[in-house]
Amino acid sequence: MRKSAPIRILLADDHEIFRDGFQVMLKKQDYIKLIGEAANGRELVEMVGMLQPDVVITDIKMPELDGVEATRIIANKYPAIQVIGLTMFDDDNLIIDMLEAGAKGYLLKSAHKKEIIEAIQTVYNKEVYYCKSTSANLMRLIAQSRYNPYKHEPKPVFTDKELEVMRMICQQASNKEIAAHLSLSIRTIEGYRDRIQERIKAKNMVGIVVYAIREGIYKV
Amino acid sequence: MAKILAEITTLENERARVANDLHDELGPLLSAIKFKLSSIETHLPEDELVMQQTSEHIVDIISRMREISNDLMPNTLIRKGLVYAIDEFIGKLGNGQIHGETVHGLTISFSHVDVPELPKNMAINIYRIIQEIVHNTIKHAKASLLRINVLMKDKKLVLQTEDNGSGFDYGDASKTSAGFGLRNLVSRTEIMGGDLFIESKKGKGTVYTIEIPV
């Protein structure tokens, strides 16, 4: 069986030690290939032009040109290249700026390897990725921001049960609590959850909440 | 007055420096350690467990550092200014809830009209004043509603807050632990050349009005 080509990624961060750690982490993954490292936004934009990566992973606060400006340039000039914003802490407003500038996802620098890989694969497939450890406040801000990944998609129609499950997820209810409330089994709720995620292309609970708030399914 | 100004300036500069060091230097170093750790492949379950726990400890350190850094100097205040920072501050108080504005039974609303871009020191002082008022309200006022308004009037920035709590007697409060917070409000207002008015009566809620020439 022929192996598909690895996803080619470019990393930008002004800390060499961070870039080194990142590179070591991904070295053994043969389906992801780190093809270059930039130390600031200006270098990043130049390297994107030369190397044409599939996915860019960039720090937000950087000297010369920050991640937000660099993302804006890349998203305009090379719309096929997907950008993920990386941030040390969940600085809500920085993340909103990144998404509005054209990033398809964001990650905290404390994310686990599995999540980082999942994020890379998700944006590579032209879907959005929200970090698993997104605060409730940030979910609300994303939903209310100008950033809207859903505007060109045909809107799925949900059943009353599905809508109720979505609302309860927004209230941070567990599968067990939702099951008890709707008098259904936990397994059934898990099934609902998976189906909802699949239909709105959400990778985790954060995607469901952002969608529900933006579409007015859950009122804040 | 000059002494208070110097003290507050030194304090805020130090806070900003420490916050920055945590955020920009120690943070990336810790993530680098976590990333490298995650590249090690072990086939012993007990080693696997140790690695996983170590990695969780690093995440805990990072999130605690985030809190400390943000308490010292919110990144948003420096980058996006006062209005965004207050929004974020209020949002984060209700941690874990989408309706972030309700905390300990207190609903906080924030409205602002025509707030211009303020000098950094002024934005920091007003931010600290609002923080102090919110914390006082949560701790002492037993209120269910706190309204915060910031607007421009006759070339003055007016900050007004109003709660429906138990109110207090200024003379009494200035002698207790709450007095330190009140003095902080007074000093911060004074160094901006502003005026502070506190209207409060036992059982009638509290209104703080602060007017600062811009």
CB contact under 8 A, A220 and B76: no
Please, which pLDDT band fits residue A2 given cuts at 50, 70 and 90?
Answer: very low
Are B25 and B122 contained in the same domain?
no
Where residue A26 falls (left for φ over 0; alpha for ψ -120 to 50; beta otherwise) is alpha
Q: What is the CATH number of the domain that holds A73?
A: 3.40.50.2300
**For the ranges A73-77, A124-128, A134-138, B210-214, which has the lowest average pLDDT?**
A134-138
Average pLDDT over residues B33-62: 91
The interface pTM score, or ipTM, of the predicted complex is: 0.80
A14/A122 same-domain check: yes
Q: B18 and B90 in one domain?
A: no
pLDDT category of residue B50 using cuts at 50, 70 and 90: very high
- What pLDDT digit, counting tens, does each position of A49-59 carry? 999 999 999 99
Q: What is the DSSP string of B99-123?
A: STTEETTEEEEEEEESPPPPPHHHH
CATH code for position B199:
3.30.565.10
Number of domains in chain A: 2
> Which tokens in the block code for residue B96?
């874990």
Of B28, B38, B95, nearest to A109 by CB-CB distance is B28
Chain B's closest residue to A21, CA to CA, is B32
Domain that includes residue B39, residue range: 2-73
Domain boundary among B73, B93, B112: B73
For the segment B17-41, what is each residue's pLDDT rounded down to a tens digit?
998 888 888 999 999 999 999 999 8
How many domains does chain B fold into?
2
A127 and A153 in a single domain? The answer is: no
| Same-domain status, B65 and B87 | no
Name the residue in chain B with its Cα closest to that of A134.
B96
User: Same structural domain for residues B48 and B114?
Assistant: no
Domain end (from A84, A108, A133)? A133
Neighbours of B175 (CB within 10 A): 9
Q: Are residues B32 and B86 both part of a single domain?
A: no
- Taken in order B142, B144, B150, B151, the sign of the CA dihedral is negative
Are A23 and A91 within one domain? Answer: yes
Query: What distance in Å separates residue B112's CA from the closest CA in chain A?
Result: 18
The reply to whether A147 and A219 lie within a common domain is yes
Tens digits of residue pLDDT in A107-122: 999 899 999 999 999 9
Provide the angle, in degrees to the nearest 10, between the axes of the packed helices A16-26 and A113-124.
Answer: 80
Instruction: Tell me which residue range forms the domain holding A94.
Output: 7-133
| Chain A CB within 8 Å of residue B108 CB | no
- A166: tokens are 């979505």
